[in-house]
Amino acid sequence: MIPRRELILETLESAHGLEALQNTIVELRDHFRIDHLVYHWVSSSGEQFGCGTYSDEWVQRYLDKDYLRVDPVIIGCYQRFHPVDWKRLDWSSKAAREFQADAIAYGIGNQGFSVPIRGPIGQFALFTASHHCSDEEWARFKDANRRDLILIAHEFNKKALEIEPGRNHEQSRALSPREIDAMTLIAMGYSRAQVAETLSISEHTLRVYIESARSKLGALNTTHAVARALSRGLIVV
């Protein structure tokens, strides 16, 4: 039987438009049994959109209070390339602590994990999971789901880039979904053994994906292939 997460991601692969992304993120939130999942991006032209499970009341309050300028998650992730637990961010200022208390009061949760993503031509996006639970429960959740959340974050961003008006869709389909997953994880610094484990494939199968991607990109080696895939916006890290 195909795992439910895989079925949801297959739905994401065929999604068209923001409404389909919204439906998928709600399904994933329920699958992980957490309070919220949110995807937010800034396109290459400066336009913003997102999808997620935050309440309309909290979204409006966030805008009204101009929390973007003090939100440690936004500020901290913009300075990072790797996923981060919210507790590792700087919450020391009075404005940040007041923001945190307000967010918790609106049901955002006291725990969070965000994946920063940088795409072609200045695109920046965040994929965030949040929940209300103890530190011990959250640590167990992250240990069990961290790699899945990172892969899903990049799947969401890939789909958002396809939806972006004016984007070259043929270029986005130059690599297969599995080739994109493999190259993305390699670009993020994963070893081949870790990539194979994360994708639940053998290292031999992984080599096939990597060689296929290298051939399609006309690259001399894996490092060259990753560089070409990044520069063409085929993968994002």
What is the pLDDT, as a whole number, of residue 42? Answer: 65
Pick from 145, 126, 112: which is nearest to 81 by CA? Answer: 126
Measured in whole angstroms, how far is the alpha carbon of residue 9 from the centre of its chain?
13
Sheet of strand 48-52, all strands in order from the earlier edge strand to the far edge: 48-52, 36-42, 124-131, 111-118, 84-85
Residues 120-154: tens digit of each pLDDT? 666 788 999 999 999 999 999 999 999 889 888 98
Residues 152-163: tens digit of each pLDDT? 898 888 887 776
Residues 53-83: tens digit of each pLDDT? 999 899 889 888 988 889 999 889 888 888 9
Question: What structural domains does the chain harbor?
Answer: 4-163 (3.30.450.80), 169-231 (1.10.10.10)
- Report the mean per-residue pLDDT for the chain: 85
pTM of the model as a whole? 0.67
Residue 1 has pLDDT above 50, yes or no: no
